Structure 1
Amino acid sequence: MKVIIIGGTGHIGTYLVPRLVEAGHNVVCVSRQQANPYSNNEAWKSVEHVTIDRVKAEEEGDFCSQIVDLNADVVIDLICFTPKSARKLAEALNGRIKHFLHCGSMWVHGFSEQVPTTENQKRKPFGEYGIDKANIEAYLHTFHQKSGFPVTILHPGHIVGPGWLPVNPTGNFNPDTFVRLAKGEQIVLPNLGMETVHHVHADDVAQAFIKAIENRDNAIGESFHVVSEQALTLRGYAEAMAMFFGQKLKLKFLPWEAWEKTVNSTDKEFTLDHIGHSPCGSIAKAKALLQYQPKYSSLQAIQEAIEHYFEKEGIKIHG
């Protein structure tokens, strides 16, 4: 089949595009062509590249027509962030494709209620990103029910892999937390460190998209979580990483009101967002209907990414 992947040179596309090629699909990668995949793969040589600046094309009103003109069987949209954008593309493609796959987010749920969170938990999103992703999901499902639009929505957790930093045990992206753990130095966690983060390797997200295409009848009209088998508490995450570095964990805890004063505003906002959501997603539905089986645990995905980062930066891992 001819598969268009919108935003194919980023985190997910780095792994998804080669998987699509290896599965025998004719792949068209639509992007601004301002970034390269995080890793090289011979499969990229057989990919057709189409340069479209989505933001600019949407402003000019011809993005959807450009996608339609590519005459795909399957369209995978990895970079849709507003309901308006989703609506215009879905309406333009309706009746013209066999399958449309949208990359959502675990953030559609808002805070966790019962864990692990299942896909049917009532949506209570907060923050612009989560609210927009939840509204996109609601629109696409409604459009499917009204018109038969063949949509599947996949909700990844914290995507990680070699080439970018994972959410760390303090709930933000500051690499100093990992450096301190590697040196056996004390780190400070907010509250009691029992909030959760739920990572997923980008290759497992790619796997889920492939599985959804291969199990189309089970996937159409559905949403699926795409995360690792288990979430991590911040405390458990910190302990596991200290062990990974060959160090003994040195922890200190502070109430949020005191902890937030120890970090910069960027780290504070990321941590508040992550612990406020404290995602812990079930993948039972994806396993049953898509045969999704993550290759990486949260820790395995994180550790691979950190090894890559430390090697790149010349930081000694094990003490």
Structure 2
Amino acid sequence: MRALLIGGTGTISSAITRLLVEKGWEVTLINRGHRNDELPQGVELLVADMNNEDEVRELLEGRHFDTVAEFIAFVPEQVERDIRLFTGMTDQYIFISSASAYAKPNHDYRITEGTTLANPYWQYSRNKIACERVLMDAYRNDGFPVTIVRPSHTYDERNVPIGVDGSQGSWQILQRMKQGKPVIVQGDGTSLWTVTFNKDFAVGFVGLMGNIHALGEAVHITSDESLSWNQIYEAVGRALGVKPVLYHVSADFLASVAPYDYQGSLLGDKSVSVVFDNSKIKRLVPEFKCTTRFDEGARICVDYMNSHPECRKQDPEFDAWCDQVIETLERAKKALKEN
């Protein structure tokens, strides 16, 4: 079996690349050549810019793949380009969408693939919805062999999943925990969230590859473990050997004052409880089962980040902003109590 991965070195796709090689697939990656130093032996690498359609067409001329997986398309123009490129070149095209495309809060606490797609807070999610629409039209009208996959919050050992962070990832939050400084949690921390380890996600994804029952279908792949944000932060603290000091702040307030895109990531996603019904992926891929509990995943992340300096990205700007938010709210509390 032959696979072409567009990207192939990100949080999700790197685990898929490794698993495909383990299963004996012939794997070709096409990307701009960044972060390819950790690719498993035997992977073919084609360095090209997908935005240069003519260059890619020439590079792939005469080739055929059982599955093409697109990890780095974000707007309709990019999937329209892919339809032109890969029609007749592949038996299956998998598009990575996003579970942030689901309308939240949902009418039912369980999210299924039939849940309405709508996100007024996040352009990223609206673009993914538009991409899905283009691809499903191509499937219905022209038989383009698409499968849509919607990941939720998927992580690997290089970055602990956190709700409120800065531009440099989660390391600064871990530092605040170790220093005994309060860490900001959106809302009251009781909304439910789902995080999925990338190696578990890869099992479901690879099971969809070459799967005729997945054609024309949209599927989300997530863990069945639902945790409150308080539990997520506390699990990270235990992995660090500390009890974190949690400071709860309204998601609306954070989105209105932050220099970061919390409008989309919080109001459009992480501030609302999500529980996923994974019966569809389990029906399509019977072997799919998430085996990494988050407390275990948190320890894997902390151990890896402690031993890999490149993952320990300091973020003094975010650290100072957290202090400013907390100090401002504490002053407001004090002033109101004194009145």
TM-score (norm 2): 0.79
Given residue 100 of structure 2, which amino acid in structure 1 is its aligned partner? W
2:236 to 241, 254, 257: 241
Cross-structure match for 1:4: 4
SS in 1 for 2:24: coil
Cross-structure match for 1:145: 140
1:109 counterpart = 2:102: yes
CA distance in 1, matches of 2:143, 2:236: 47
1:280-312 residue CA offsets vs partner (Å, 9 max, x unmatched): 322221112222212323443343223211333
Instruction: Tell which deviates more after alignment, 125-134 or 110-119.
Output: 110-119
Q: CA deviation at 1:267?
A: 7.1
CA distance in 2, matches of 1:53, 1:310: 34
SS in 2 for 1:266: coil
Distance 1:111 1:88, change over 3 A: same
Could you list the runs of 5+ residues in structure 2 that have no partner in the other structure? 313-339
CA distance in 1, matches of 2:59, 2:44: 15
Given residue 197 of structure 1, which amino acid in structure 2 is its aligned partner? W
Cross-structure match for 2:208: 212
Q: How does 1:1-319 map to 2 (within 5 A)?
A: 1-36=1-36, 40=38, 44-55=40-51, 57-58=52-53, 61-64=54-57, 66-67=59-60, 69-113=62-106, 114-126=108-120, 127-163=122-158, 165-170=159-164, 173-213=169-209, 216-256=211-251, 265-266=259-260, 268=262, 270-276=265-271, 278-291=273-286, 292-313=288-309
SS in 1 for 2:276: coil
Q: CA deviation at 1:64?
A: 4.5
CA distance in 1, matches of 2:280, 2:58: 34
CA distance in 1, matches of 2:117, 2:242: 41
CA distance in 2, matches of 1:154, 1:76: 10
Q: Is the 8 A contact 1:166 1:305 kept in 2?
A: yes
CA distance in 1, matches of 2:253, 2:130: 35
Q: Is the 8 A contact 1:112 1:280 kept in 2?
A: no
Distance 1:253 1:108, change over 3 A: closer
Q: CA deviation at 1:255?
A: 3.5
Q: Is the 8 A contact 2:180 2:245 kept in 1?
A: yes
Q: Is the 8 A contact 1:107 1:133 kept in 2?
A: no
Q: Is the 8 A contact 2:219 2:280 kept in 1?
A: yes
Q: Is the 8 A contact 2:99 2:152 kept in 1?
A: yes
CA distance in 2, matches of 1:254, 1:15: 34
Instruction: Tell which deviates more after alignment, 229-238 or 170-179.
Output: 170-179
CA distance in 1, matches of 2:97, 2:57: 19
Q: Is the 8 A contact 1:218 1:290 kept in 2?
A: no
SS in 1 for 2:129: helix
CA distance in 2, matches of 1:3, 1:260: 40
Q: Is the 8 A contact 2:197 2:297 kept in 1?
A: yes
1:252-284 residue CA offsets vs partner (Å, 9 max, x unmatched): 3334466568x8512755544543455432222
SS in 2 for 1:155: strand
Instruction: Tell which deviates more after alignment, 114-123 or 167-176.
Output: 167-176
Distance 1:200 1:257, change over 3 A: closer
SS in 2 for 1:30: strand
CA distance in 2, matches of 1:260, 1:122: 24
CA distance in 2, matches of 1:67, 1:78: 18
Q: Is the 8 A contact 1:174 1:267 kept in 2?
A: no
Q: Is the 8 A contact 1:15 1:203 kept in 2?
A: yes
Q: CA deviation at 1:133?
A: 0.9
TM-score (norm 1): 0.83
CA distance in 1, matches of 2:58, 2:200: 31
Distance 1:252 1:26, change over 3 A: closer
CA-based RMSD? 2.8
SS in 1 for 2:290: coil
